[in-house]
Copies of this chain bind each other. A is one copy, B any other.
Amino acid sequence: MVLLEFSMSPTDKGESLSSYVAKILDYIDESGVTYRLTPMGTILEGEWDKVINVVTGCFKLMQQDSRRISVNLKVDYRAGEESRLESKIQKVEKILDKKLST
C-alpha cells in the first residue's frame, strides 16, 4: 500500500489560495479515495495507480484555472495490505509510551 502526501497550488494567483485548494479537495472528497487533510497537504492511501490517478485528476482541474502550478508529492510504499494512516502514529506513541500532539 502507498501513502502519498501531496500539495498543489497555482503560483500565478497571489497570496490567498484557499479557493483553488478547496476545489481540488472537493474533487478528492468526492473521488472516494481514503484521505486525510493536514495543514500542509493531503494524504491519500491506496494502490499506486489509484492514488496517482487522483493526483492527475486534481492537476487537470487546476490546469483549467492556472497558467503556472507547483506540486509537491511524497510517497511511502510498503508491501502489504495493511492501512498505516493510523498505525504509523500509534507505533511511535507505543514506543514512547506517551500521547503526542496529532
Asked if residues B22 and A11 are in contact (CB atoms below 8 Å), the reply is no
Asked if residues B37 and A43 are in contact (CB atoms below 8 Å), the reply is no
A42 to chain B, nearest CB (A): 9
Residues of A participating in the B interface, judged by any CB pair closer than 8 Å: 3, 5, 7, 9, 11-12, 14-15, 17-19, 21-22, 25-26, 29, 35-41, 43, 48-49, 52, 56, 59-60, 63, 67-79, 84-86, 88-89, 91-92, 95-96, 98, 100-102
- Could you jot down 15 A-B contacts, CB within 8 Å? A7-B74, A25-B96, A36-B38, A38-B43, A39-B84, A39-B88, A40-B43, A48-B56, A48-B63, A52-B56, A59-B77, A68-B77, A70-B74, A70-B77, A73-B75
